[in-house]
Amino acid sequence: MFAVIFHAEIAQLDDAYFATAKQMRELAITQYGCLDFVARTEGEREIAISYWPSLEHIQRWKQNAEHLQAQQQGRVSWYKSYKVEVVEVLRSYSQP
């Protein structure tokens, strides 16, 4: 399993951002194999982590036209800066 970690410094989050974020999350999960997606905002910082079964799933998602458009909007309107990390999950465990 792999995770994509998105770190951002927020410029401004508006209604269009929240609608787009919801749409992108649903699209990633329903059509591109995303296993889970969580995001949190604190002050001017946002972190979002999505989990994927393979690097191929991530690559297909990265090439989606709607996702590319949302990324462009993020660069123009919503974020001052961002960083993306793709990592392999070596271990995962939980307690009920």
Question: Per-residue confidence of the chain (96 residues) as pLDDT tens digits?
Answer: 999 999 999 999 999 999 999 999 999 999 999 999 999 999 999 999 999 999 999 999 999 999 999 999 999 999 999 999 999 999 999 998
Q: Which two tokens stand for residue 91?
A: 């271990």
pLDDT at 62: 93
pLDDT score at 33: 97
Spell out the domains of the chain, with CATH numbers in brackets: 2-88 (3.30.70.100)
Cβ-count burial 76-91 (b if 16+ within 10 Å, e if not): eebbeebeeeeeeeee
* Token pair recorded at residue 22: 């919801």
User: Does this model's pTM top 0.75?
Assistant: yes
SS3 54: coil
